[in-house]
Amino acid sequence: MGSHKFSHEKIPLEKIENCIWRIPKYKPGMRVPGLVFANEKLIKKMQTDRTLWQSANVTHLPGIYKHSVTLPDGHEGYGFPIGGVAATDYDEGVISPGGVGYDINCGVRLLSTTLSEKDLKPKLKQLANIIFRNVPSGLGSRRKDFRISASELDSVTKEGVKWLIKKGFGWSEDAEHCEESGCMRNANPQKVSPIAKKRGLTQLGTLGSGNHFLEIQKVDRIYDENKAETYGINFEGQVTVMIHCGSRGYGHQVCSDYLRIMENATHKYHINIPDRELACAPGKSNEAKDYYQAMACAVNYAFSNRQAIMHWVRQSFKQTFNQDPETFGLRLVYDVAHNIAKVETHKVNGGRKKVWVHRKGATRAFPAGHEDIPVDYRSKGQPVLIPGSMGTSSWILSGAEKAMDLSFGSTAHGAGRMMSRSAAKRKWWGEDIRINLEKRDIVVKAASPIVLAEEADDAYKNVDVVVDVSDNLGIATKVARLTPMAVIKG
């Protein structure tokens, strides 16, 4: 597999224009250059760790087109940087589980309500408490009254959110407002290991811990009224709910299992890659086909996970206000994946090519008119949801044309860490963070005060800066900024 030793040499970087940098083909094995989208401050941060080295490593993947992409929130990941995108040829290229990551379809869903901040204020604490009770969060948490059998798990991962909707967990219109309509149809549970299934069985409908969260938010500012209205964002002060989590142990195990399989495949097909975590196989091989079918199961698991959680959020509104959730809107705006591989068609060298797009900590950002956008949003562009770190703003953007030229229809996915967890813990105590947020009138419910300290917002890059770069480049443009009223964390 070659040495995966990191070299401390400075990665060469050429500034092409404002916020666009190129890593030239500076070492043997690089098939294309790397492209990095960042302002001066963000690029300096990327130069402090292995982010750019990983961006260069990704360009070694056989069949890669144009350039590897590193988005403004890019930071050091495993194999790929987080905030990384790569497209490989459908026939001649490879698929790499490292280009998707361990938390397959970690993603975000947003609900809009008809309530204003003022309407909710008197009930906010009560609502946050009820959601905290209804939605399992934190280490090893699960709902005692929600159990599925092994065969039901297979149905969930085959059918995605539609299975849950059929069982009463949601409204029929929810599915259309998910990426892939909440189901990748190539899912095949036979390609998922028994261990992955066992891990998944008890974790459906759980938030998890770490950077995952559920927030009650308000619309802080609308930047594009026309698009906002189409997405159901109608006025400043409007209450929204954001759910950020992924495929839990099910997806983590799928990634891990296939990393082993792909490692053997990398040898078998004589592929030269500079990092064990970039293990891959030709898209046409059985190994790759199996991974793609298993990955799709994990993708569907994650969509369904967020669907179950959303259902309990709606129920929590009902319990708080003693009225049906429909009274408050509670409409699903959109659900997007941040960690996924897909077959898409993209402009390459003047033609159109079918490719494997890997998005690792990246959000699909298709422009207006694209057929994969829900019909009611299609004329405006795909909603892009970017969560901030705890206590800061989150964003709704809209996919734009430039994304198809620069980033294979993708933009950033979040803030990206600046500070290590241990440094954050040394600097802050969980309780201080809670008091600080509460001073700003934000209600906090957390299973672990340690997670609060680790996830303190100062430990992250400012998400507003990340979004500015995306907006300036025109890969996804600002629609509305959301700020938290209540944070629920594992």
Partner 1 sequence: MHRNKKFKFLEHTADVYIASYGKNIEEAFENAASAMFEVMTNTKKINPSFEESITVEAKDELALLYNWLEALLVNFEIKNMLYSKFKIFPFKKNPDSLIIEAKAWGELFDPKKHTQKVGVKAVTYHRMEIIKKRNEVILEFILDI
Q: Which sequence positions are flagged as catalytic?
A: 413
By beta-carbon proximity to partner 1, the closer residue of 25 and 276 is 276
Rounded to whole angstroms, the Cα distance separating 405 from 407 reads: 6
Residue type, 127: L
Q: Are 71 and 407 in contact (CB under 8 A)?
A: yes
Residues 6+ apart with CB under 8 A from 489: 137, 138, 207, 209, 212, 213, 214, 390, 444, 445, 446, 447, 448, 451, 452, 455
Least distance in Å: CB of 395 to partner 1?
21
**For the stretch 462-478, what's the b/e string if a residue is b when 16 or more beta carbons lie within 10 angstroms of its beta carbon?**
bbebbbbbbbebebbbb
Least distance in Å: CB of 425 to partner 1?
9
Least distance in Å: CB of 292 to partner 1?
19
**Residues 31, 32, 33, CA angle at the centre, nearest 5°?**
135
By beta-carbon proximity to partner 1, the closer residue of 249 and 383 is 249
Neighbours of 51 (CB within 10 A): 25
Least distance in Å: CB of 79 to partner 1?
7
Rounded to whole angstroms, the Cα distance separating 119 from 317 reads: 13
**Taken in order 79, 383, 135, 254, is the CA torsion positive or negative?**
negative
What are the tokens at 48? 């402090």
Least distance in Å: CB of 38 to partner 1?
16
What are the tokens at 71? 């988005």
By beta-carbon proximity to partner 1, the closer residue of 78 and 90 is 78
Rounded to whole angstroms, the Cα distance separating 385 from 177 reads: 13
By beta-carbon proximity to partner 1, the closer residue of 255 and 467 is 255
Phi-psi region of 284 (alpha: psi -120 to 50; beta: other; left: phi over 0): alpha
By beta-carbon proximity to partner 1, the closer residue of 227 and 461 is 461
By beta-carbon proximity to partner 1, the closer residue of 436 and 448 is 448
Query: What is residue 150's DSSP assignment?
Result: H
By beta-carbon proximity to partner 1, the closer residue of 101 and 170 is 101
Least distance in Å: CB of 186 to partner 1?
23
Q: How many CA atoms lie within 13 A of 321 on its CB side?
A: 18
Q: Are 294 and 195 in contact (CB under 8 A)?
A: no
Torsion of CA 399, 401, 404, 406, to 10 degrees: -100
Q: How does strand 34-37 pair with strand 68-75?
A: parallel
Least distance in Å: CB of 252 to partner 1?
5
Q: Are 136 and 202 in contact (CB under 8 A)?
A: no
Least distance in Å: CB of 328 to partner 1?
31
- Interface residues with partner 1 (CB under 8 A) are 4, 6, 49, 75-79, 82, 102-103, 138-141, 195, 198-199, 202-203, 208-210, 249, 252-253, 255-256, 259-260, 276-277, 417-423, 447-448, 450-451, 454, 490
Using CB atoms within 10 Å of the CB of residue 139, give its burial: 0 to 12 exposed, 13 to 18 middle, 19+ buried. exposed
By beta-carbon proximity to partner 1, the closer residue of 56 and 111 is 56
Shortest CA distance to 224 belongs to which of 481, 417, 413, 45? Answer: 481
By beta-carbon proximity to partner 1, the closer residue of 78 and 429 is 78
Q: Are 391 and 487 in contact (CB under 8 A)?
A: yes
Least distance in Å: CB of 144 to partner 1?
12
**Taken in order 120, 122, 125, 127, is the CA torsion positive or negative?**
negative
Shortest CA distance to 161 belongs to which of 137, 184, 143, 145? Answer: 184
